[in-house]
């Protein structure tokens, strides 16, 4: 009996092994097709997350809108996140949540260049593709950065503007976002370099103030600047929250013509101040496009089309072909040039962003 049982067992095993082998051979082609289907399916089901600087800023909302538009076009799932405060701590908590959720990609507008590194490296070690947009994290914390425009141009053009508005002489101050924001800090560095030119020898930068991209804090920082520097002639606010707050304070205090204002503003928020002359002109780019470009950059990383290396190329939906270039010790993809908004074109743009 024992012999019969062990013979049966051997026969069963032989059958199982050959049966299995046969199945593998004949199913090769169909398994290839289903692999393709599976990866297309996986791409569709991929989860693409974006973390912007903070809530309550229409610029960040537009950025998320553009990101979602790209991810919708791809047919995947977009996860949109914004902390209440523009801090690294709040973003770290969100990164941890997204790692636990096993997302495929995290795109982040960093509230600090270095503080997010451990969390973002943890994400990359877990196979999540990481990119920054708008405000870069350091090159060890990401695979690529999506830059809105050339930082040197952004910085220099704002100094050129305020110098022209105050006729080349007087005191100016900068009303910025947070003291840790990579984008604003880089632009301010370029402003300072521009100010070294002899053309600006009669212009004094008296202070860089931080309104933290919070509306009320930006208003009170602007009021404090006026109090501390009664001779102040001009303000550069390289943040959409700051410039709108400064426009409001100048208007409310009846300082039109006495204090000049320029910087980076959303046409929808600044139209009234441009129309009144409080801000003669300012600059920006399309924040919807910044988010949209980040969405397609994310897809190119997730599908393995690019690795974030110099020379990589991909098609960013309706924005067309984009190339990855080395900047400093990391790589970037760039949206375009900053755009000038003034009384002649503001009516047209205020409806868009």
Among the residue ranges 6-14, 226-234, 235-243, 335-343, the one whose residues contact ligand RAM (CB under 6 A): 235-243
Using the rule CB under 6 A, which residue among 87, 91, 135, 182 binds ligand RAM?
Answer: 135
Closest approach of ligand RAM to the CB of residue 23, in Å: 56
Between vectors from CA 327 to CA 324 and to CA 329, what angle results, nearest 5°?
115
Minimum Å gap between C-beta 342 and ligand RAM is 17
Extract the tokens encoding 306. Answer: 């690019």
CA distance 108 to 215: 22
| 244, 264, 279, 301: which one binds ligand RAM (CB under 6 A) | 264
CB-nearer residue toward ligand RAM: 74 or 293: 293
Handedness of CA 113, 115, 118, 123 (dihedral sign): negative
Residue among 170 and 263 whose Cβ is closer to ligand RAM = 263
Looking at 51-59, 200-208, 245-253, 326-334, which segment touches ligand RAM (CB under 6 A)? 51-59
Which residue of this chain has its Cβ atom nearest to ligand RAM in the complex? 59
Q: Is 57 in the site for ligand RAM (CB under 6 A)?
A: yes
CA distance 244 to 259: 14
Contact, 335 vs 341, CB < 8 A?
A: no
Minimum Å gap between C-beta 170 and ligand RAM is 24
Q: Which of 239, 286, 297, 331 binds ligand RAM (CB under 6 A)?
A: 239
Site for ligand RAM in 149-188 (CB under 6 A): 177, 183
Q: Which of 282, 306 has the CB closer to ligand RAM?
A: 282
Specify the residue, 139 or 239, whose C-beta has the smaller distance to ligand RAM: 239
d(CA 205, CA 111): 25
213 binds ligand RAM (CB under 6 A): yes
122-125: long-range pairs with CB below 8 Å, 24+:
122/95, 122/96, 123/95, 123/98, 123/99
> Two tokens at 244?
């709108």
- C-alpha atoms less than 13 angstroms from C-alpha of 7 in its C-beta half-sphere: 4
User: Which of 193, 279, 196 shows the shortest CA–CA distance to 236?
Assistant: 279
To ligand RAM, the closest distance from the beta carbon of 264 in angstroms equals 4
Rg (CA), the chain: 26
- Interacting residues with ligand RAM (CB under 6 A): 53, 57, 59, 109, 134-135, 177, 183, 213, 239-241, 264
């Amino acid at each position: 009996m024992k012999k019969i049982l062990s013979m049966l067992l051997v026969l069963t095993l032989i059958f199982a092994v050959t049966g299995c082998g046969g199945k593998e051979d004949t199913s090769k082609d169909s398994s290839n097709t289903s692999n393709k289907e599976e990866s297309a399916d996986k791409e569709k089901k991929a989860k693409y997350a974006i973390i912007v600087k903070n809530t309550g800023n229409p610029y960040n909302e537009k950025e998320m809108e553009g990101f979602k538009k790209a991810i919708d076009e791809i047919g995947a799932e977009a996860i949109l996140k914004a902390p209440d405060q523009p801090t690294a701590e709040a973003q770290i908590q969100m990164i941890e949540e997204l790692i636990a959720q096993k997302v495929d990609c995290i795109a982040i507008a960093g509230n600090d260049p270095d503080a997010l590194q451990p969390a973002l490296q943890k994400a990359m070690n877990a196979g999540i593709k990481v990119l920054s947009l708008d405000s870069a994290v350091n090159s060890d914390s990401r695979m690529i950065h999506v830059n809105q425009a050339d930082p040197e141009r952004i910085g220099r053009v704002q100094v050129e503007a305020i110098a022209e508005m105050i006729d080349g002489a007087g005191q100016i101050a900068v009303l910025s976002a947070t003291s840790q924001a990579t984008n604003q800090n880089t632009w301010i560095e370029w402003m300072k370099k521009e100010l070294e030119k002899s053309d600006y020898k009669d212009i004094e930068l008296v202070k860089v103030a931080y309104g933290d991209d919070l509306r009320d804090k930006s208003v009170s920082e602007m009021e404090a600047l006026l109090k501390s520097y009664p001779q102040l002639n001009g303000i550069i606010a390289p943040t959409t929250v700051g410039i709108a707050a400064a426009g409001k304070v100048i208007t409310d205090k009846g300082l039109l013509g006495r204090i000049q204002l320029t910087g980076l503003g959303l046409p929808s928020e600044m139209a009234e101040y441009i129309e009144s002359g409080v801000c003669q002109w300012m600059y920006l780019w399309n924040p919807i496009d910044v988010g949209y470009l980040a969405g397609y950059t994310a897809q190119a990383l997730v599908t393995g089309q690019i690795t974030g290396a110099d020379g990589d190329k991909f098609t960013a939906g309706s924005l067309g072909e984009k190339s990855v270039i080395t900047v400093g010790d990391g790589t970037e993809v760039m949206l375009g040039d900053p755009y000038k908004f003034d009384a002649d074109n503001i009516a047209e743009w205020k409806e868009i962003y």
